[in-house]
Amino acid sequence: MTKKIAVLPGDGIGTEIVAEAVKVLEYLNADMDLGLVFEYGLIGGAAYDAHGTPFPDQTLALAKQADAILLGAVGGYKWESLDISMRPEKGLLGLRSHLQLFANLRPAILYPQLVAASTLKPEIVAGLDIMIIRELTGGIYFGQPRGVRLLDNGEKQGYNTLVYSESEIRRIAHVAFQTAQKRNRRLCSVDKANVLECTELWRQVVAEIGKQYPDVELSHLYVDNAAMQLVRAPKQFDVLVTSNMFGDILSDISAMLTGSIGMLPSASLDANGKGMYEPIHGSAPDIAGKGIANPLATILSVAMMLRYTFNRADAAERIEQAVNTALDANVRTADIYSEGMQKVSTPVMGDAVISALKEGV
């Protein structure tokens, strides 16, 4: 049976990195007879330019009927002055929300070859392997009411709403506990329960669900402390679970622990394992079109796709191993370059992964 992948490269470096990830998938598709077929669509600024909306109906239809979605990145200077409802980010948020991709898995793994690329001391980050689970379809990103209103005194006031219902907290908590069960059985839930009622409820519900998982050690941290602990002693963590906005922020912090945001993949899953796979970084308009972006986060995202949506851990492991081998061969894109290494372009990094796949058979 064929498996359909909706490919949405998006904007900026999105097209460059997705091309490399597709190259890797096409190689494996032929080599392992995976039965994958690719269909392309527009999202973000590219969609706005072509159709006047960052989230065209045909893209939603394509994503809905696909088994998995591969997304590059959205956004860029060109669209920054548009009304917020037409910004490229709305395309990405629309996909997450319409497909109910509520569970965002963001693993932060430090490859030993990149210890020197991290801004933190080697002993703090060496061997790092943590998983951030971010709630992705609720919270302040989607809460109503929202907007900018005019006050009686003539001043404008911006407002957003942080909301979580118990069911939204329960379902992400289950994903987090079950993920921890497959790892080192430690889960830290991050909130701001000392100030925000919504996250006080978050803490209560997570603790309640925790009773069903006595084999997982549950702890709670306030988000400010969690941010500090992530740079002070990140290896104390196994799995972290948190709300949409806190997860956005904490996952960028954890990216830097691994040397570069160009290394971090992600999976955004619905209740049935259908998923959208994307690097956690953005469209990087400052380096777009230069052929210097790191494709590894996107290549590692397709490994997650093979593992989580297509149940092909064997193929996923081949990709992860090939990334390791490529790094062993000392090829580096600019973001992970250090002295003595060979600085390569985006496509050459993709080629290095494919050569490693060929050698690894």
Should residue 280 be labelled a site residue for ligand IPM when binding is judged by CB under 6 A? yes
Query: Of 67, 192, 238, 335, which is the active-site residue?
Result: 192
Tokens for 323? 């990334």
**Binding of residue 320 to ligand IPM (CB under 6 A):** no
> Is residue 141 annotated as part of the catalytic site, yes or no?
yes
For residues 82 and 253, which CB has a smaller minimum distance to Mg ion in the complex? Answer: 253
Q: What is the distance between the alpha carbons of residues 267 and 290, in angstroms, rounded to a whole number?
A: 27
Catalytic residue among 31, 224, 286, 314: 224
Q: Is 67 a catalytic residue?
A: no
The item of ligand IPM, Mg ion, none sharing an interface with residue 92, based on CB under 5 to 8 Å by kind, is: ligand IPM
- State in angstroms the smallest separation of the CB of 128 from Mg ion: 19
Detail the DSSP E strand segments found in the chain. Answer: 3-10, 36-40, 68-73, 103-109, 129-135, 147-150, 156-159, 186-191, 217-222, 239-242, 267-269, 275-277, 331-332, 342-343
Residues in contact with Mg ion, shown as a per-residue x/- string from 332 to 351 under the rule CB under 5 A: --------------------
Q: Which residues pair with residue 276 across a beta bridge?
A: 69, 268
With vertex at residue 38, the alpha carbon angle to CA 48 and CA 102, rounded to the nearest 5 degrees, is: 65
Tell me which stretch binds Mg ion (CB under 5 A): 95-103, 107-115, 226-234, 245-253: 245-253
The distance in angstroms from the start CA to the end CA of the chain is: 24
282 binds ligand IPM (CB under 6 A): yes
Interaction pattern, residues 247-266, with Mg ion; x per rule: CB under 5 A? -x------------------
Per-position DSSP letters for 147-209, written without gaps between them: EEEE-TTS-EEEE------HHHHHHHHHHHHHHHHTTTSEEEEEE-TTT-HHHHHHHHHHHHH
Least distance from Mg ion to the Cβ atom of residue 106, Å: 9
Whether omega for the bond prior to residue 54 falls within 30 degrees of 0, making it cis, is no
Q: Does 89 bind ligand IPM (CB under 6 A)?
A: yes
Give min distance, CB of 306 to ligand IPM, in A.
21
Between residue 40 and residue 79, which ones bind ligand IPM under the rule CB under 6 A?
75
Cα–Cα dist 254/359, whole Å: 32
d(CA 93, CA 290): 27
Site for ligand IPM in 91-110 (CB under 6 A): 92
Taking the C-alpha atoms of residue 46 and residue 20, their distance in angstroms, rounded to an integer, is: 19
Nearer to ligand IPM, 75 or 259 (CB): 75
For residues 70 and 301, is the Cβ–Cβ distance under 8 A?
A: yes
Nearer to ligand IPM, 251 or 346 (CB): 251
Number of residues that bind ligand IPM (CB under 6 A): 6
Is residue 117 a contact point for ligand IPM (CB under 6 A)? no
State yes or no: residue 25 binds ligand IPM (CB under 6 A): no
314 carries an active-site annotation: no
Please check whether residue 300 is in contact with residue 289, taking contact to mean a CB–CB distance below 8 angstroms: no
Residue 259: CB minimum distance to Mg ion, A = 17
Do residues 210 and 178 make contact, with C-beta atoms less than 8 angstroms apart?
Answer: no
Residue numbers annotated as active site: 141, 192, 224, 248, 252
Report the interface residues with ligand IPM, using CB under 6 A. 75, 89, 92, 248, 280, 282
Report the interface residues with Mg ion, using CB under 5 A. 248
